[in-house]
């Protein structure tokens, strides 16, 4: 079975972009040239008739830059204020860029409670499905301005890696692409271990793979390191969703992945009969 070939036929795709892939490291401000490529890539997937969901970070980083702060704030209240300003600004730019390609974009902000509360979860699911059937690209982020505990507990829902896997499972996506600051999964942290080997495909997600996440992200902009990406992979694959970690330094990697090229690390989805999304999220709380 050629797992990569199967990626060509995916119909419902969730793409997650981290803050460090969207902003200039020196200023924290948006990298507009890269955003243009991102929007073209997603617009083209829509033009191929696929359902597309974008999980975009960047609210805090963009808000902090807009408010003239140096680096990312650490105080919770300041972070929340930054997210409020930054999320609106981020959406303004997405709306503008998507409209240039005649694509409609909508916003969905979620918290852990959205998933844990049955009524809220069903509402979110219905809204996603309705938006997708209307041809809209939902743009998702955590509701950082109000969901305080999320941001404090980094290994939990407070990173968009986990959030994007939860969304992919919720809407029964068939592919999740995490755009990262690294090419994919290595046997060890390649920044500190020159013998670290790149892993092309993971078709059996076991303890050995989970341990490879201990060396974390080099990024100081977002919150997700390799450990959170592997948590995301565990959720996505158990829900039967294929997941790819690819390098977000070049958003053209999105079409490389969806054309079945050898790009990034592919985690092959294997639906586990005993997998219940809610049980899983409760374990993460």
Catalog residues that contact ligand GLU under the rule CB under 6 A: 18-19, 57-61, 83, 141-142, 144, 159-160, 222-224
Does 165 appear as a known binding residue?
no
CA quadruple 85, 91, 93, 94: dihedral, nearest 10: 160
Does 135 appear as a known binding residue?
no
Shortest distance in whole angstroms from residue 62 CB to ligand GLU: 8
Does 223 appear as a known binding residue?
yes
Which one, 103 or 162, has the nearer CB to ligand GLU? 162
Which one, 12 or 72, has the nearer CB to ligand GLU? 72
Of 137, 151, 157, 152, residue with least CA distance to 55: 137
Which one, 31 or 44, has the nearer CB to ligand GLU? 31
Does 228 appear as a known binding residue?
yes
Shortest distance in whole angstroms from residue 135 CB to ligand GLU: 25
Which one, 19 or 258, has the nearer CB to ligand GLU? 19
Shortest distance in whole angstroms from residue 115 CB to ligand GLU: 15
Shortest distance in whole angstroms from residue 169 CB to ligand GLU: 17
Shortest distance in whole angstroms from residue 162 CB to ligand GLU: 8
Does 231 appear as a known binding residue?
no
Shortest distance in whole angstroms from residue 266 CB to ligand GLU: 22
Shortest distance in whole angstroms from residue 6 CB to ligand GLU: 28
Pairwise CA distance, residues 59 & 224, whole Å:
15
Which one, 93 or 268, has the nearer CB to ligand GLU? 93
Kindly list the distances between the CA atom of residue 215 and the CA atoms of 151, 196, 202, 208, in Å, as whole numbers in the listed order: 21, 11, 18, 14
Which one, 155 or 200, has the nearer CB to ligand GLU? 155
Does 57 appear as a known binding residue?
yes
Does 226 appear as a known binding residue?
yes
Does 181 appear as a known binding residue?
yes
Which one, 57 or 265, has the nearer CB to ligand GLU? 57
Query: In sequence order, what are the residues at sequence separation of 6 or more whose Cβ sits closer than 8 angstroms to the Cβ of residue 107?
Result: 91, 138, 139, 140, 141
Does 224 appear as a known binding residue?
yes
Pairwise CA distance, residues 106 & 86, whole Å:
16
Binding residues for ATP: 16, 180-181, 223-229
Binding residues for substrate: 57, 144, 160
**Annotated binding site, which residues?**
16, 57, 144, 160, 180-181, 223-229
């Amino acid at each position: 079975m050629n797992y990569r070939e199967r990626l060509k036929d995916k119909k419902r795709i969730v793409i997650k972009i981290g803050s460090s892939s969207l902003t200039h490291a020196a200023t924290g401000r948006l990298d507009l040239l890269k955003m243009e490529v991102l929007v073209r890539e997603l617009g083209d997937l829509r033009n191929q008739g696929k359902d597309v969901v974008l999980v975009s970070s960047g609210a805090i980083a963009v808000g902090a830059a807009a408010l003239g702060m140096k680096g990312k704030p650490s105080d919770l209240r300041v972070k929340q204020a930054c997210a409020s300003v930054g999320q609106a600004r981020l959406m303004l730019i997405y709306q503008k860029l998507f409209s240039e390609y005649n694509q409609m974009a909508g916003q969905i902000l979620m918290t852990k409670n959205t998933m844990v509360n049955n009524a809220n979860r069903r509402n979110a699911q219905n809204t996603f499905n309705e938006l997708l059937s209307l041809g809209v690209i939902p743009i998702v982020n955590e509701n950082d301005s109000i969901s305080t505990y999320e941001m404090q507990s980094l290994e939990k829902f407070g990173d968009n890696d986990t959030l994007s896997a939860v969304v992919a499972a919720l809407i029964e996506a068939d592919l999740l692409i995490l755009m990262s600051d690294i090419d994919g999964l290595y046997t060890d942290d390649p920044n500190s271990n020159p013998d670290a080997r790149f892993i092309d495909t993971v078709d059996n997600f076991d303890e050995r793979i989970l341990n490879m996440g201990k060396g974390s992200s080099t990024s100081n902009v977002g919150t997700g390191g390799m450990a959170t990406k592997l948590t995301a992979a565990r959720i996505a694959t158990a829900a039967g969703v294929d997941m790819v970690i690819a390098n977000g330094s070049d958003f053209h990697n999105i079409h490389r992945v969806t054309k079945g090229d050898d790009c990034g690390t592919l985690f092959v989805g294997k639906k586990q009969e005993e997998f219940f999304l809610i049980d899983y999220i409760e374990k993460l709380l």
